[in-house]
Amino acid sequence: MATITAAAPRATAPGVLERPVVRKLLLLALVAAILVPLANARWASGTWPSALTVDFSEQLTKASVWIIDNRDSHPLFVYFFGHLSNAVVICVRAVYLVLLAAGWAGVTAAASLIAWRVAGWRLAAGTGAAFLACGFLGMWIPTMQTLALMVVAVLASVVVGMLLGLAAGLSDRMDRALRPVLDTMQVLPAYAYLLPVVLVFGMGVPAAVLATVVYAAPPMARLTALGLRGADKEVLEAVESLGTTARQRLLTARIPLARKELLLGLNQTIMMALSMAVIASVIGAGGLGDRVYQALASVDVGAALAAGIPIVLLAVVLDRVTCAAGESLGDEPQPNGRARWLYALIAAVAIAVAGRLLGRLDWPDAWALNVAEPVNRAVDWMTDHLYSGVPVIGGTADWAAHFTTGILNPLRDGLQWLPWWSVLLIVATLAWLIGTWRTALTAVLAMAAIGVLGVWGPSLDTLSQVLAAVAVTLVLGFATGIAAARSDRFERLLRPVLDVFQTMPQFVYLIPVVALFGVGRAPAVAAAVVYALPAVVRITTQGLRQVDPAALESARSLGATTAQQLRQVQLPLARPALLLAVNQGVVLVLAVVIIGGLVGGGALGYEVVAGLAQGDLATGLVAGAAIVCLGLMLDRVTQPTERRAKKGA
Amino acid sequence: MRLRTRSFRASRTTAVVAGAVSTALLTLTGCGAADMTKQASPFANAQGAKTVTLSVQSWVGAQANVAVAQYLLEKKLDYRVDTVQIDEVPAWDALSQGRVDALLEDWGHPEEEQRYVKDKKTIVPGGDLGVTGHIGWFVPTYFAKQHPDVTDWKNLNKYADRMRTAESGGKGQLMDGSPSYVTNDKALVKNLDLDYQVVFAGSEAAQITQIKQFAKEKKPFLTYWYSPQWLFKKVPMTEVKLPAYKEGCDADPEKVACAYPHTPLQKYLNSDFSKNGGEAAALLKKFKWTTEDQNEVSLMIADQKMSPEEAAKKWVDSHESTWKAWLS
């Protein structure tokens, strides 16, 4: 909470902003003075009054039963969703068959050669090594399944995203209408809409692909719109003066000018789709995510890691290659570039055919590395020696217990003890002090919606876990970020570690956190911290490094110590970046709440998981909606006044 | 003015593209009705191989069934087997749509049985698995030996403070597992007037990890658990007697005050697969083994960390008489 109040504008410019702040507070106090006694007299209870809740469970259950009963016969399904579903299956199958037909040698060669043409030989070597590593880990087939799924999901997301982006980029009205839609698509935790998607499409690949599109299309849409809007006015006028039609202008000038943004959008879409590949495994998408999930069942961290590494490798390779493609866009086209593409194509086909003729289509079983065993030994050692009874500092289980009783319990009990109207008031105050009355209104309405949905208690429990996790993340993230900003070497060492943490599927570290911290809310917080930390570290480091060197130089010349420079120059100047780090920390921690439900975090996360596991639309959807509302509220409360141009970038 | 025409054209372009996409979609899939009940996984039957898709539930016993079935199907009958991990209730749904072909271990879902087996007829029973399942409350045997009276629910309150954890808020902790498992524990605690708090571990993996940690320190604990289960071999546990189960005593989920029943576990097959699945369907229908068999394989997978395939091979090599009967 401390970080949030510190964000009030008063700290920077007391003289100017003092009055609006006081005015806002006075107005709020007035509103409160009128409304609170009324509310209290009518519904005198600490928690959200039951008179103000609406129970949707009956309707939702009815809806889900209706879908199941009519899914095989109703025209809506038979003539629309059914075809959609079949089309997805056919596309994924086609890609999968091509990948299988190319064999491991052909796929590896093709990937490396594409990387070579797009990004140079170094990345080509890296790409080849990454694909071979997937084979050595014994994950070739699951990797191909995931790849097939990804290709289709990314293509679909790009098409949908570009269509939305075109609409938003060309028409202001569409832009205004689409913005809240895209916001919701991104704030919604993926888990929350898995269930409805599954109900309509059934378990498996079609549902997984469609859920991925919902999640991965927004960055493409945003960046397409941004690119179209940012096109150079003079160029456009020049093109227009040639007497072109609007369509010609779009195709020959605006879209080519927006290439950089389009590629960045593609990059973001790929990353988000890949992170979804694992979550989609809980609805039967198969592939690598499923292997991670299955390993979890037999409490086998090593096997989970063996399936997690290919995901990390795919993510890193795809990220680097698309980034490199974006950077080389402005360069002069190389001489005989087309011919080289042709050579690359011929080489890839030749290798694939050679692999076929040699009968080496499947990855040879003998070529396998066993990483599972050493990893499991390491995890066992860790839990044997760190869990409890470590001299002086105590074991991790003791820390977890202290953390639960000392921080999580008081925080939860405190929040749940607060009268409901005072929670709304606090939210309103914070959001208004940081943003405008619109942000305050959104935040209050979101919080009120939670009460209306009838999950006030569990939501505050989740909120307490999120706040605790964000606090820990920020302390660790700022400290690491400051260290990384001061030492280039440390930053270089840190980068691959952050890459791994950011792309490693969260399922992989569920067992280690339970083994270290026991079942409960403490491991849930730990998992959230691991997930949110890299982003906070990165933003902090970048923010500190971008501080004007002149300001730092002048402070140094005045004889300021390193600590003084940091406190009085760097941190204040990097304030926007730090605020962004807070905001991203909150959003990312909230994204892991559901994973927390799998290790005893309880509250909303558990209910969403339970809803999916039991096929209970009412429980799952209501809890999912509450998470969305919490996310909306927290985002608004931590949103610095000016909105960022793009999210998720 | 210009802006308006432009946006109009843009939206027309959008409409044209959207129309083209949907037309392409229709031509791709054929214009008739789409059958939502026959949708195999896109990874099935790749490269012309005969494939079977099996659903795996999150507990190791279910993994053991699938591992052995998979091994026999692949090595003896030349099928390719895909496995997908799904929770129980969604697995029924997937089975009815043909996304998976068989479910080898079901713990009793009367509502789904009524809907899919009796009404829609998209799923057919595949017979007994041969294993009887039982859910109950368990304490570690080392604790039960020191305090024999803990094995009766009437004495549980006496030990509540010994079972306390940071999560249980001043009461004793009764640990429950995955949300997909059948449980009446919240109602039981309330109706039997016990001084316990049900703490949901959220997944079986988390629950096992925690039980192992407790056992390592010889701490007392009370947990929801079930047999057959390989963990008993690693952490011996003793069941706590609850009021005896009588037919129908668990009819009202709010008023349950009795133990869990003993359930002969069932197999279910997609009805299409059952008819046209050939040797694979025949094998899966005949698949029947004992609790000991299942535990043997489970222990190899979960404790000795063998791959399911290795574990299945080991079992198959030493139990020829059992599985020979399934192939005939």
Give the model confidence (pLDDT) of B182-233 as tens digits: 888 888 999 999 999 998 888 888 888 889 888 888 889 999 999 888 888 8
Residues in A touching B58 (Cβ below 8 Å): 296-297
- Eight-class DSSP state of B284: H
Asked if the C-beta of A281 comes within 8 angstroms of chain B's C-beta atoms, the answer is yes
Statement: residue B45 has pLDDT above 70 = no
Using pLDDT thresholds of 50, 70 and 90, give the confidence band for residue B68. very high
pTM for this structure?
Answer: 0.80
DSSP secondary structure letters along B193-235: T-SEEEEE-SSHHHHHHHHHHHHHTT---EEEEEES-THHHHS
- Contact state of B10 with A170 under an 8 Å Cβ cutoff: yes
* Chain pair A-B, CB pairs under 8 angstroms: 263
Residue A412, min C-alpha distance to chain B (Å): 12
- Contact state of B36 with A78 under an 8 Å Cβ cutoff: yes
Give A37's contacts (C-beta < 8 A, 6+ positions apart). none
Instruction: Report the residue of B7, B70, B80, B85 to disrupt the A interface, i.e. the one with the largest count of A CBs within 10 Å.
Output: B85
Residue A165, min C-alpha distance to chain B (Å): 11
Select from A474, A468, A458 the least CA-distant residue to A411: A468
Residues in B touching A406 (Cβ below 8 Å): none
Average pLDDT, chain B: 83
Rounded to whole angstroms, how far apart are CA atoms A609 and A603? Answer: 10
Select from A51, A504, A178 the least CA-distant residue to A309: A504
Give the model confidence (pLDDT) of A595-629 as tens digits: 888 888 888 888 888 888 887 888 888 888 888 88
| Residue B224 near residue B177, CB atoms below 8 Å | yes
ipTM strictly over 0.85? Answer: no
Type of residue at B47: Q
- Contact state of B39 with A521 under an 8 Å Cβ cutoff: no
Using pLDDT thresholds of 50, 70 and 90, give the confidence band for residue B20. low
- Contact state of A77 with B36 under an 8 Å Cβ cutoff: yes
Asked if the C-beta of A505 comes within 8 angstroms of chain B's C-beta atoms, the answer is no
- Using DSSP, how many helices (H) and how many strands (E) does chain B show? 13, 9
Instruction: Report the residue of A151, A203, A247 to disrupt the B interface, i.e. the one with the largest count of B CBs within 10 Å.
Output: A203
Residue of B nearest to A91 (CA): B42
Residues in A touching B207 (Cβ below 8 Å): 519
Residues in B touching A168 (Cβ below 8 Å): none
Residue A242, min C-alpha distance to chain B (Å): 16
- Contact state of A90 with B63 under an 8 Å Cβ cutoff: no
Q: Pull the structure tokens for residue B174.
A: 């009764």
User: In 10 A of CB A623, how many CB atoms?
Assistant: 30
Residues in B touching A613 (Cβ below 8 Å): 87-90, 178-180
Rounded to whole angstroms, how far apart are CA atoms B239 and B244? Answer: 13
Least confident of A338-342, A418-422, B32-36: B32-36
Region A195-208: mean pLDDT is 83
Q: Which of residues 370-399 of A touch B (CB under 8 A)?
A: 372-373, 376, 383-384, 387-388, 397
Give the model confidence (pLDDT) of B109-158 as tens digits: 888 888 889 988 889 998 899 888 899 999 999 999 999 888 888 888 98
Residue of B nearest to A287 (CA): B84
Give the model confidence (pLDDT) of B233-291 as tens digits: 889 999 999 888 888 888 888 888 888 888 899 999 998 888 888 888 999 999 999 98
- Contact state of B11 with A167 under an 8 Å Cβ cutoff: yes
Asked if the C-beta of A177 comes within 8 angstroms of chain B's C-beta atoms, the answer is no
Residues in A touching B305 (Cβ below 8 Å): 298, 300, 302-303, 372-373, 376
User: In 10 A of CB B45, how many CB atoms?
Assistant: 16
Rounded to whole angstroms, how far apart are CA atoms A194 and B15? Answer: 28
Residues in B touching A293 (Cβ below 8 Å): 85
Average pLDDT, chain A: 80
- Contact state of A78 with B34 under an 8 Å Cβ cutoff: yes
Residue A605, min C-alpha distance to chain B (Å): 9
Instruction: Report the residue of A229, A236, A298, A412 to disrupt the B interface, i.e. the one with the largest count of B CBs within 10 Å.
Output: A298
Give the model confidence (pLDDT) of A9-46 as tens digits: 444 444 545 566 777 777 777 777 777 777 776 666 66
- Contact state of A174 with B91 under an 8 Å Cβ cutoff: no
CA separation (Å) from A536 to A227, A236, A479, A649? 27, 39, 10, 14
Asked if the C-beta of A520 comes within 8 angstroms of chain B's C-beta atoms, the answer is yes
Residues in A touching B14 (Cβ below 8 Å): 163, 166-167
- Contact state of A519 with B11 under an 8 Å Cβ cutoff: no
* Half-sphere exposure for B223 (CA within 13 Å, toward CB): 32
Statement: residue A456 has pLDDT above 70 = yes
Select from B285, B264, B269, B277 the least CA-distant residue to B94: B269
- Contact state of B85 with A148 under an 8 Å Cβ cutoff: no
Residue B46 has its nearest CB partner, among A100, A373, A519, at A100
